[in-house]
Amino acid sequence: MKRTVFTAAMALIFSALAHAQTQAQAPSQPGAARGNAGQPTLTPDQVAAQRRAQQEQLANDWANLTRYRDANRNLPSASESQPRVVFMGDSITELWDRDSGKFFASKGYVGRGISGQTTPQMLIRFQQDVVALRPKVVVINAGTNDIAGNTGPSTLEMIEDNLTSMTQIAVANGIHVVLASVTPAYDYPWKRGLEPAEKVVALNSWMQKYCVKAGCVYADYFTPLSDEKHGMKEGLSRDGIHPTPAGYAIMAPIAERAIAQALGKE
């Protein structure tokens, strides 16, 4: 099992590196320019420096395995009295605890989001950032950056395969899985014109059906956040992609209900 997963992961690395794109992802990164959403706006020089740092990161540690390595080592042992929950994801997961009153910390959840990441990158770090932490539940929120092409062109089938692989690895290690819907995206501010909205709808539809088949729990963030164009509702996002505290306030009880369901408490 481990040899098969390792081989598949290595194949993903070389496939992604072969066509990895290094275009800027500034709005998807913490501290990036965010327009009028109350976040700092970077100067052109700062944006250029950020791009260089991102390119260096991709070249030296494509899946960003070093990001949480020390935090993982310093994490206390999992307790049976308080089941551990890990949130795996991208910037939407990473920013959640920063923007919304330390939601993860207040609940004892462990956040393992990395801005800009795609599902193949998450799959590669899934063993160290999820399995090794011995959680009872993992909440996976991933796929929007794949649709944006952050690490190269990606089909919905490729995203589905990676989500399936993460689910199977979790289940094989006794971890309950919550697959969280991709949040609405009418357009990506760092890569305009991709028309992602209906791809997000299609991926979420697959995810919901897959959870029925695989026995995981589907957490639907999309429906209460979405407007009539399948973009983010006014006031719930800072840039059309990343939720505001008001957006996270809608997502939080959905996540908690899904976790309780995964633990058999609902």
Strand order in the sheet with 85-89: 110-113, 85-89, 137-141, 176-180, 217-219
Helices 119-129, 2-18: crossing angle, 10 deg rounding: 140
CA end-to-end distance (rounded Å), the chain: 32
What does R_g of the chain's alpha carbons equal in angstroms? 17
Distance (Å, whole) CA 229 – CA 80: 44
Residue length, the chain? 266
Say if residue 13's pLDDT is above 60.
no
- Strands 110-113, 137-141: pairing is unpaired
| Integer CA distances (angstroms), 81 to 77, 101, 108, 136, 150, in order | 12, 24, 12, 11, 39
Residues 6+ apart with CB under 8 A from 2: none
Say if residue 23's pLDDT is above 90.
no
203-225 pLDDT, tens digit each = 999 999 999 999 999 999 999 99
Q: Which H or E run includes 9?
A: helix 2-18
Distance (Å, whole) CA 250 – CA 221: 8
Q: Is 78 helix (H, G, I), strand (E, B) or coil?
A: coil
Domain CATH number, residue 11: 3.40.50.1110
Distance (Å, whole) CA 63 – CA 12: 11
Residues 6+ apart with CB under 8 A from 235: 244, 246
* Mean pLDDT, residues 110-126: 97
Instruction: State how many domains the chain has.
Output: 1
In our burial notation (b when 16+ CB lie closer than 10 A, e otherwise), range 44-55 reads eeeeeebbeebe
Average pLDDT value for the chain: 85
127-186 pLDDT, tens digit each = 999 999 999 999 999 999 999 999 999 999 999 999 999 999 999 999 999 999 999 999
Q: Where in the sequence is the domain holding 55, given as residue range(s)? A: 2-262
Q: What is the pLDDT of residue 5?
A: 43
Which residue reads 């801005």 in tokens?
Answer: 115
Quick check: 238 and 38 in contact, CB under 8 A? yes
